[in-house]
Amino acid sequence: MISIGASDELSGQAVLYANTNDALIGEELFATGAYLGAGASHAASLTVQDILRWLVILSLLGGAAAKFFGVI
């Protein structure tokens, strides 16, 4: 039997982590639909989130490099 627990409260996360095999910590709470296979839209939203996350990381690194080299 698979049991998945998720909570947005710190005390709830501690209890679920200790009592379930697959506790969802942090942003995994919002990916529950994709984990349960609810549909292709859930998997697509996770892919888009990953792409946007990498774009933010690259823009931050690019801005830091531009500042370091005196471009801005």
Tens of each residue's pLDDT in the chain, 72 residues: 777 777 778 888 788 788 877 766 777 777 777 777 778 888 888 889 899 999 999 999 999 999 999 988
Helix (H), strand (E), coil (C) string for 20-53: CCEEECHHHHHHHHHHCCCCHHHHHHHHHHHHHH
The Cβ-side half-sphere exposure at 64, using a 13 Å CA radius, reads: 6
> Which DSSP letter does residue 5 get?
E
